[in-house]
Each structure stands twice: as C-alpha cells, then as structure tokens.
Amino acid sequence: MLIAPSILSADFGHLERDVRAVCDGGCDLVHVDVMDGHFVPNLTIGPVVVDAVAEAATKPLDIHLMVENNSFFVDLFSPLNPEYLSFHLEEEKHPHRLIQKIRALGIRPSVALNPHMLPESLEFLIEDLDMVLLMSVNPGFGGQRFIHSVLERAVRLKELIEKRNPKCLIEVDGGVNDINIHMLKEAGVDVVVAGSYVYKHPEGVKEAIASLK
C-alpha cells in the first residue's frame, strides 16, 4: 500500500522540515489539502505555499482540491506538476471534461467522493481515471473519526474497477490509523492518506509511516 501523509497536520511554522521528514521517513506521496472556505468550511493554502512544499518534497505531490470552481484551481495548481490531482464530483457539472483537461496537462486525474456518494456514480467515468479518492470523513478538517461505511464503498468500487479499469487506484482519506488500515487493505484500497496519525505520532513521523507500512 502507498502511504500519503497529509501536510494539513504538519507544523506550518516549520513546513519545510515537516515535508522533508515524511519524505525521508519513507512516504510514497505527499498529500496536499487545498480548501477554499466555500466548498468546505475551512481555508488552507494556495499555489505560493504549495510551490514551497514542492521544493521541499522529494516525493510526488498528491493534490486534493476541496473547492468550488475546480477548473480555475486546476489552472492554478497544474504548473506545480503534481502526480495526482483530485477534485470532488459533488462540485463539478462537467467531470468528464475536467478529467480530460487534467490529463492533457500531463497530470493523473482523480475524482474524490464524499462519504455519502455511491461508487457506482463513477460507472461512466472510471475508464478515464487513474485514481478514486474515497472520503472516510467529511472533508474540511484533520483529526476526525473514521467513517466505517467507506469499507463497503471500497469493495463496491473495486468491483467496478476490476470490470472497467483495473489499473485505477483506490485512495482513502480521513481518520486512517494503524488499526483500520488492515481493513482498508482487505477492502482493496491501494493508497491511504494519513494526517494526524503521522504527524502526531508519539514516536515521530518515520515510526508512524513504518507502522502503517
């Protein structure tokens, strides 16, 4: 499984140090949560700060947009060359068009689904995606409790993926820890995002990533 620490739980006064720590600590992707204060009731970072994150990171960026006006934000963040760019299906009138746009920019497209969203809603998009991000908390904040129904959603999504696009990855984001990661693995999840578990681990980020692995 790939581990993508979310820098939302990092110390923003020492962002370079905290990005380096997860990269040196063996993570696979650096998960960056972009929130606009409209789609979610929280505001995080824009391209200036994410550019600094990209400079410090030795692993690819996995940018998670939680915004209104996705296309505008894709234009803002695509010059930073993330590996994955996820946008929320609930907020997009033309997801198929936006997926094509992201791919044409040389970035792997991913669609994020809030906890109530059916995996089957991706039936006619899945062939164009490299990843699906299943939210296991309501987006907006780190440190929330894991919503267990994501396990059933992952199993159902895996069936769809096996039928239509076996190379597509499943990422789960929110409340992941060293206990529920076993169930996520069994449900067919490929990538886990972990924010507070990694950055608040009493033994440090390296130990946290190793325990997830």
- Interface with Zn ion by CB under 5 A: which residues? 33, 64, 173
What is the token pair recorded at 13?
Answer: 């006064």
The reply on whether position 53 binds ligand DX5 by CB under 6 A is no
R_g (Cα) of the chain, nearest Å? 16
| Contact between 68 and 39 (Cβ < 8 Å) | yes
Q: How far apart are CA 9 and CA 125, in angstroms?
A: 31
- For ligand DX5, the binding residue among 64, 101, 153, 158 (CB under 6 A) is 64
Using CB under 6 A as the binding rule, whether residue 144 contacts ligand DX5 is answered as: yes
Task: Report the distance separating Cα 40 and Cα 163, nearest Å.
Answer: 33
- Point out the catalytic residue in the list 36, 62, 173, 190: 173
149 exposure class (CB count in 10 Å sphere: 0-12, 13-18, 19+): exposed
Site for ligand DX5 (CB under 6 A): which residue of 30, 31, 168, 208? 31
Q: How many amino acids of this chain bind ligand DX5 (CB under 6 A)?
A: 21
Task: State the DSSP H helix or E strand holding residue 193, giving kind and residue range, or none if neither.
Answer: strand 191-194
Segment near ligand DX5 (CB under 6 A); pick from 10-18, 77-85, 118-126, 136-144: 136-144
Tell me how far, at minimum, the Cβ of 46 lies from ligand DX5, in Å: 16
Alpha-helix residue ranges (DSSP H) falling in the chain? 15-24, 47-56, 70-77, 95-104, 150-164, 180-186, 196-199, 205-212
- CB of 110: closest distance to ligand DX5 in angstroms? 12
Stretch that binds ligand DX5, among 4-12, 80-88, 147-155, 181-189 (CB under 6 A): 4-12
Binder to ligand DX5 among 173, 181, 191, 208 (CB under 6 A)? 173
Structure token digits, residue 186: 């069994």
| Chain-centroid distance, C-alpha 141 | 13
128 is an active site residue: no
From Zn ion, ligand DX5, none, interface partner of 180 (C-beta below 5 to 8 A by class): none
Does 33 help bind ligand DX5 (rule: CB under 6 A)? yes
Q: What are the distances in angstroms from CA 126 to CA 101, 122, 184?
A: 15, 6, 20
Interface mask toward ligand DX5 for 174-213; x: CB under 6 A: xxx----------------xxxxx----------------
- Nearest distance from residue 172's CB to Zn ion, in Å? 10
Catalytic residues: 33, 173
